[in-house]
């Protein structure tokens, strides 16, 4: 596994590029970018799990839906997703299932940014030379 994400300079948004060996790693690395964007470094362990199933119209829509779902859990349900425990992405049917380690949000967490939404700006999942790439932009 050699996935990574690299932040980009952006004035009104948070943006980063993701590179991964598989679609599952691409989605997981985008999740990590989201988590780093919203939460100060924390050594809290998940105490619960949540299983999410999504179906969309495209891979890009699936990634946006996934990131918006975990952001909704944080901002509305006060559930912080801390880790991807298991993930399956079906590229031909634009389906995903992910098991996330979670914890209830409390005053001990220091949130860095409030993400309003995940945008489609410059988002295109592409595959080149056996690697997957995408740019993720959060509206803050």
Beta bridge partners, 100, equal: 50, 84
Q: Which residues, including other chains, have CB under 8 Å from residue 126's CB and lie 6 or more apart?
A: 132, 133, 134
Tell me the C-alpha to C-alpha distance, in Å, between residue 93 and each of 68, 96, 138.
Answer: 20, 9, 25
d(CA 18, CA 4): 6
Pick the closest to residue 67 from 104, 31, 108, 40 (CA basis): 31
Prediction pTM value: 0.89
pLDDT tens readout for residues 31-82? 999 999 998 867 889 999 999 999 999 999 999 999 999 999 999 999 999 9
Average pLDDT, the chain: 91
Residue 99 pLDDT exceeds 80? yes
Most confident of 7-16, 19-28, 43-52: 19-28
Domains of the chain: 4-9+16-139 (3.55.10.10)
């Amino acid at each position: 596994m050699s996935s990574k994400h690299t932040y980009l300079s952006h004035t009104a948004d948070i943006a980063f590029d993701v590179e991964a060996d598989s679609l599952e790693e691409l989605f997981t690395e985008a999740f990590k970018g989201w988590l780093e964007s919203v939460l100060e470094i924390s050594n809290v362990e998940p105490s619960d799990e949540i299983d999410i199933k999504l179906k969309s119209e495209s891979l890009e829509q699936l990634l946006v839906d996934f990131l918006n779902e975990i952001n909704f859990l944080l901002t509305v349900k006060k559930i912080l997703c801390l880790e991807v425990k298991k993930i399956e992405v079906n590229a031909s049917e634009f389906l995903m299932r992910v098991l996330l380690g979670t914890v209830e949000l409390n005053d001990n967490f220091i949130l860095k940014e409030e993400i309003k939404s995940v945008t489609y700006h410059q988002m295109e999942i592409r595959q080149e030379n056996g690697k997957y790439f995408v740019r993720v932009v959060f509206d803050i």
